[in-house]
Amino acid sequence: MKILYIITSTNAGGTEKALLELIRRIDRDEYEVYVCSLKRPGVFAKRIEEAADGFYSLGLAEAGGIKAVLTFLPALVRLIRLSRRVRPMIIHSFLFRANILGRFAARVAGVPIVISSIRVIESDKHYKHIIDRLTSSMVNRYMAVSEAARKFTIKHVRVCPDKIVTVYNGIDCSAVLQGNSNGFTINKALINIALIGRFDRQKGHVTLIKAVKTISARHPDIRVYFFGEGPDEIRIKTIVKQERLSEYIIFVGVTEEISRCIAQMDIIVLPSLWEGLPNVLLEAMAEARPVVASRIEGIDEVVLDGKTGILFKPGDARALAQALLRLIEDRQLAEEMGMAGKKRVLEQFPLEKTVKETEAVYRSLIMMEKSD
């Protein structure tokens, strides 16, 4: 059976990494795997190409908004042609633009099974909910990355509960522990903290910057590393300079293998305003790093507040500073939370479970299609 995976980009991100791990481990005696990236090849493109039976890129620019609208039809035409050439049994798409394009391409190209993955809870993007709702009849099954994402989709997209299943992200802990840092090193005598995520309002960089201003007055040996890239990078760098925090906040850029970098940190922070189920928290917990994250839907299914990490009210820089100070000044508590987090990931979020549940969805839909 041929599967065509459609993803918005192959940049360094949780969704991209999740797809890479899935296609590396899916039963290749049962499935042929093809991947199409809507955008130009990113840092994960080469590895995805090596793992797949075929890799394609539509070459769209990173820009969204009106440019994304203007490129919709040309991209759709190319995706229809690709679908007719590959002739997959299943189109499985990830992220909003890929989900919508994949549905129309499947309908025109005659692909019998369409799966849309819901990776992020975008509560303020009402136009996306409307578009999703209007095209939901083209989808055979939704796969939500968390129970919160599933419930949100049922409510706002008005998807029938039987049509959407939850398949959590999974982590290959053995691979995490064998990672490398690509030459990234830090001064371990300092207090090292990291925020890993694209520079976007969603990730809450400004909240952490405000917290750092408070913490640095009490702990001048703090160093906070921002890993990633994105549309808000220039703005965030400007704010750091304006707040005179360049000594404390370091911009690292994109790192393909992040696990060894995580392992060098004392604390991992994710002050997001919304999420689905962030891979970076699973990776941090797998490395026995204590985490501090926003108390939002999706994250609270991973982090047990007070046990595997600390949750705080999103956007509350004072609460974030207090949470970080608690871990900085109580290293035994930080170590205990880190070890509890590792145990939780090993038991509840193994990658093998994710792959197995995904394959079960494929088989059930294929059986339904054959019975029809």
Please state, in angstroms and rounded to a whole number, the distance separating the CA atoms of residues 238 and 199: 13
* Shared domain check, 248 and 139: no
* Shared domain check, 159 and 199: no
* Shared domain check, 192 and 50: no
Angle at 140 between CA 129 and CA 105, to 5 degrees: 75
Contact 117, 145 (CB under 8 A): yes
* Shared domain check, 285 and 196: yes
Structure tokens at 101: 């394009």
Please state, in angstroms and rounded to a whole number, the distance separating the CA atoms of residues 21 and 19: 5
Please state, in angstroms and rounded to a whole number, the distance separating the CA atoms of residues 228 and 272: 14
Q: Residue 63: what pLDDT?
A: 62
CA separation, residue 28 to residues 52, 82, 88, 94, 365 (Å): 10, 21, 14, 20, 18
* Shared domain check, 140 and 272: no
Q: Residue 183: what pLDDT?
A: 65
* Shared domain check, 278 and 194: yes
Closest among 245, 154, 251, 153 to 198, alpha carbons compared: 251
Which residue, chain included where needed, has tokens 């001064």? 187
Q: Residue 65: what pLDDT?
A: 64
* Shared domain check, 327 and 229: yes
CA separation, residue 86 to residues 55, 95, 105, 110 (Å): 11, 21, 12, 12
* Shared domain check, 192 and 159: no
Q: Which amino acid is at 264?
A: Q
- CATH code: domain of residue 153: 3.40.50.2000
Phi/psi for 230 (5° steps) reads: 155, 180
Q: Residue 318: what pLDDT?
A: 98
Closest among 202, 171, 372 to 287, alpha carbons compared: 171
Half-sphere exposure of 347 (CA within 13 A, CB side): 7
CA separation, residue 38 to residues 11, 60, 97, 262, 372 (Å): 11, 6, 9, 29, 32
Closest among 39, 34, 36, 46 to 3, alpha carbons compared: 34
Give per-residue pLDDT as tens, 263-284. Answer: 999 999 999 999 989 999 999 9
Identify the three-state secondary structure at position 270: strand
Please state, in angstroms and rounded to a whole number, the distance separating the CA atoms of residues 372 and 368: 6
* Shared domain check, 143 and 18: yes
Label residue 202 exposed, middle or buried (CB < 10 Å: 0-12, 13-18, 19+): middle
Q: Whole-model pTM? A: 0.90
CA separation, residue 301 to residues 41, 293, 298 (Å): 32, 12, 5
Which domain range does residue 57 map to? 2-168+351-371
What is the distance, to the nearest Å, from the Cα of residue 209 to the centroid of all Cα atoms in its chain?
22
* Shared domain check, 207 and 112: no
Contact 302, 285 (CB under 8 A): yes
Contact 234, 205 (CB under 8 A): no
Please state, in angstroms and rounded to a whole number, the distance separating the CA atoms of residues 111 and 105: 8
Q: Residue 68: what pLDDT?
A: 67
* Shared domain check, 131 and 8: yes
The structural domain count of the chain equals 2
Q: Which residues of the chain carry a pLDDT beneath 50?
A: 179-181
* Shared domain check, 357 and 344: no
